[in-house]
């Protein structure tokens, strides 16, 4: 399990092997069942997660009760409610497992202790922030500038596994369209 995460880290940053092993030793292995809530709205995100296998999503529920999916993560990806993780204030997001999943988790305190102690881990954190910012900025641009059909076509081209592995309901919440609209687009 940890070898997958080690490889992920070392593809992004240079880090001493002994430091990397010390960091990895502070991660706990966790299995979660499909539909398990990893973080609820209103809870403080106290852990950084790395998804080994499975699928999880990060989403909001609007005042009207609609789900809006911000992020879908498949294996080999970091997962956290970043704003809550950084500020230690209650999350406005949920994180749940869409499939049986395996995760590695590290406490927020340990995560930031290592950013102060291990230069390579601080660089890893910076790269994670840059990736998160860029990804979310591109998502916002797509939601603002592309039609529903264009968003679907882009998802189909860039991430066809979303369409293959996820329910229409989840895909619709990710594209910020109704299931009916998604069905119409798919039928054309």
pLDDT digits (tens, 9 = 90+) for 112-132: 999 999 999 999 999 999 999
Distance in angstroms (rounded) separating the CA atoms of residues 182 and 169: 9
pLDDT digits (tens, 9 = 90+) for 85-99: 999 999 999 999 999
Model pTM? Answer: 0.90
Fold of 2-117: Jelly Rolls (2.60.120)
Domain ranges for the chain: 2-117
Inform me whether the pLDDT recorded for 3 exceeds 90: no
How much is the pLDDT for 1? 60
Kindly report the three-state secondary structure assignment for every residue of 17-77.
HHHHHHHHHCCEEEEECCCCEEECCCCECCEEEEEEECEEEEEEECCCCCEEEEEEEECCE
Percent of the chain exceeding pLDDT 90 equals 94
Mean predicted confidence (pLDDT) in 18-45 = 96
Mean pLDDT value across the chain? 95
């Amino acid at each position: 399990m940890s070898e997958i995460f080690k490889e992920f880290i070392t593809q992004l940053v240079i880090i001493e092997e002994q430091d990397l092993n010390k960091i990895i030793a502070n991660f706990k292995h966790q299995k979660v069942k499909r539909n398990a809530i990893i973080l609820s709205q209103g809870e403080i995100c106290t852990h950084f997660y790395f998804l080994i296998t499975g699928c999880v999503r990060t989403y909001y529920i609007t005042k009207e009760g609609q789900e809006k999916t911000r992020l879908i993560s498949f294996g080999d990806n970091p997962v956290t409610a970043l704003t809550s993780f950084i500020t230690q204030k209650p999350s406005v997001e949920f994180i749940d497992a869409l499939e049986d999943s395996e995760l590695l988790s590290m406490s927020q305190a340990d995560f930031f202790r290592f950013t102060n102690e291990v230069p390579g881990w601080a660089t890893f954190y910076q790269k994670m922030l840059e990736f998160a910012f860029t990804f979310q900025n591109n998502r916002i641009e797509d939601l603002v500038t592309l039609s529903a059909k264009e968003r679907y076509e882009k998802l189909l081209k860039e991430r066809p596994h979303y369409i293959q592995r996820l329910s229409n309901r989840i895909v619709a919440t990710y594209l910020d369209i109704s299931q009916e609209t998604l069905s119409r687009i798919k039928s054309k």
